Amino acid sequence: MSTATLAEVAETYRHPESLGNFLRDRNPITLLVALVSLAVVAAAVPGLITPFAVCAVFVLLAFAGGVGPAYTATYLKLWAVVGFILFLLRALLLDGEHVYFTFGNLQVTAEGVYEGLRFAAVVMAICGAVTLFFALVTMRRLMLALEMRGVSPRASYVLLASFQSMTDLGATAKVVLDAQKARGIETEGGLITRAKAFFPVLAPVFLSAMTATEERAIALDARAFNSPAAHSHLVQLPRTATWEWLAAGLFAAVATACVMGRFLGWL
């Protein structure tokens, strides 16, 4: 990379970081409030239409945020596995008056199917909100937004490092497994073969992670991580407009109203 390109990279940090998408450039906190509010509405409003509509809205928002295909594929998989199982459990186990058909001791009733569909849709709306949020927002942007609102850099580091450590642990486990494989130990094949190879590597993987954590703590200390000075930030998020906070407030108000309405019997 030439010096000119280095200058270009440096220049990008002089301005608020834009991801070039209206939705993804929103403040992560307002986006989180909006998505959680939608999930709450899905859970609070009775009937099937609202939770299914909220799920559909999440897919539309994913396309608006430029992550549509990947999000839809993940969401469909979640529906196919989690949603379907939740539906089946409710549909098969819930008693009702209108019996569609019977499997031995199990009865599929109209009430069970309804409750199964609603329960699955509500849970999937909640899953959808979480999945969409992390599809649209990186952990780094979320923690940066939280730091701007007063969360300590230490707490922010712990969260970010925890997520990174999952990746690191996976990579270390793979290295140890490859080393085992090189020594002639069977690491591939059926579930039992793989389990036999995998469980013994857990101890060295976690021990090395603990050692690495101590070294990393000292290395961070060398970067003045414990400095009492107020930390500054290289990366800036775009300024959050007033309308964005108002919109988030509106979403939260609607969600609160729905919950209150549910408990007070308005809905």
- Binding of other proteins by 100 (CB under 8 A): no
Q: Which two tokens stand for residue 109?
A: 């009733």
Annotate each residue in 190-219 with x if it binds other proteins (CB under 8 A) or - if it does not, as one string: ----------------------x--xxxxx
Of positions 104, 184, 228, 265, contacts other proteins by CB under 8 A: 228
Contact with other proteins (CB under 8 A) among 18, 102, 164, 193: 164
d(CA 202, CA 197): 10
Tell me if 71 sits within 8 A of 131, measured CB to CB. Answer: yes
Q: Least distance to other proteins from the beta carbon of 239, Å?
A: 15
Sign of the four-CA dihedral 4, 223, 156, 232:
negative
Nearer to other proteins, 232 or 242 (CB): 232
Token pair of 168 as six digits? 């690191």
Q: Interaction with other proteins in 130-159: which residues (CB under 8 A)?
A: 138, 140, 153, 157
Q: Cβ closer to other proteins: 192 or 230?
A: 230
CB 247 within 8 A of CB 30: yes
Single-letter residue type at 133: F
Binding residue for other proteins, selected from 21, 231, 246, 260, defined by CB under 8 A:
231
d(CA 153, CA 155): 6
Closer residue to other proteins in complex, CB, 107/208: 208
Three-state secondary structure along 162-191?
Answer: HHHHHHHHHHHHHHHHHHHHHCCCCCCCCH
Binding-site ranges for other proteins (CB under 8 A)? 1-3, 5-7, 9-10, 13-14, 138, 140, 153, 157, 160-161, 164-165, 167-168, 212, 215-236
